[in-house]
Amino acid sequence: MDWNNIDLTSHERESNLIDPLTFDQLLLEISCNIPADKIDCFEVAKQFEIDLKNRVAEARDIFQSNLTNIVKQAKAEREKS
């Protein structure tokens, strides 16, 4: 799939704009990025915010890359109704 040019008339339309963050993924990030002796509430919250910011930034990029497609599709669907 070309994330810079989503086909909104296909199954690609069902794709997430923002990737979900599961507890499993968060725990993996903690395991990979925080030394065992440094795991505490502050560091875990910091890792969560990093993961969240990365997902939001990626979603914004995808949205901006597809904004013209979104507007075009929204207009086409409005004309049908």
pLDDT at 81 over 90: no
Helical H segments across the chain, by residue range: 23-33, 41-80
39 falls within a domain: yes
9 falls within a domain: no
29 falls within a domain: yes
Residue-range definition of the domain harbouring residue 70: 20-80
Our count of domains for the chain comes to 1
Angle at 22 between CA 53 and CA 46, to 5 degrees: 40
**The whole model's pTM is what?**
0.86
pLDDT at 14 over 80: yes
Task: Kindly report, residue by residue over 18-67, the tens digit of the pLDDT.
Answer: 999 999 999 999 999 999 999 999 999 999 999 999 999 999 999 999 99
